[in-house]
């Protein structure tokens, strides 16, 4: 799993916002609540393109009800290490029903759209974080 130490080494301090871009999401993958523009790490463009394309081709877009953010400089909730959101390499989805410590509601098919595209899913962690997808490697 990618660590905050690896991010610090590759991207520098989160406040530098190195590698961050305002990604103009291609029209063909803007559907449902998929954002038109997304402030994220450059390294997210290819994996998110793949994940959103998977949602569309597998007809699972309707399951994406809320897109709850990407870049946010903060510590992991309740912990001291920095969240990977601090470097814009994680996204939260359907937060209202996939809260920290709650049994995730996302379907296996939906999750697979992201894991097939190069993301780790927080719903498999000991500390359940079902809304959270982050890059598997950087």
Structure token pair of residue 108: 């296996």
Q: How far is the CB of 132 from Zn ion (least distance, A)?
A: 3
In Å, what is the CA distance from 83 to each residue of 4, 35, 69, 103, 136? 7, 22, 13, 21, 14
* Residue number with CB closer to Zn ion (89 or 132): 132
**What part of residues 99-138 is at the interface with Zn ion (CB under 5 A)?**
132
Nearer to Zn ion, 43 or 92 (CB): 92
Instruction: Report the run of H or E that residue 99 belongs to, with start and end.
Output: none
Q: How far is CA 75 from CA 53, 81, 82, 131, in A?
A: 30, 6, 4, 16
The stretch among 28-36, 56-64, 82-90, 106-114 that binds Zn ion (CB under 5 A) is 82-90
Dihedral Cα 117, 119, 122, 124, nearest 10 deg: 70
User: 119 has which bridge partners?
Assistant: 135
Residue whose C-beta lies closest to Zn ion: 132
Which of residues 54, 92, 93, 110 is near Zn ion by CB under 5 A?
Answer: 92
Query: Nearest approach, Cβ of 87 to Zn ion (angstroms)?
Result: 12
Closest CB to Zn ion among 57 and 125?
125
Q: Indicate the SS3 state at residue 104.
A: coil
CB of 59 to Zn ion, least distance (A): 25
Cβ at position 83, least distance to Zn ion in Å: 7
Q: Provide the binding-site residues for Zn ion, judged by CB under 5 A.
A: 90, 92, 132
């Amino acid at each position: 799993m990618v660590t905050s130490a690896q991010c610090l080494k590759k991207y520098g301090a989160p406040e530098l916002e190195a590698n961050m871009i305002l990604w103009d999401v291609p029209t063909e993958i803007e559907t449902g609540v998929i954002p038109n523009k997304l402030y994220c790490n450059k390294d997210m463009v290819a994996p998110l393109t793949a994940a959103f394309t998977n949602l569309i081709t597998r007809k699972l877009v309707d399951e994406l009800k809320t897109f709850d953010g990407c870049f946010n400089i903060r510590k992991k909730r309740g912990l001291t290490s920095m969240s990977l959101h601090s470097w814009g390499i994680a996204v939260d989805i359907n937060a209202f029903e996939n809260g920290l410590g709650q049994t995730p509601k996302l379907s296996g098919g939906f999750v697979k759209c992201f894991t097939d595209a190069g993301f780790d899913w927080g719903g498999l962690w000991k500390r359940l974080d079902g809304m959270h997808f982050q890059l598997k490697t950087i």
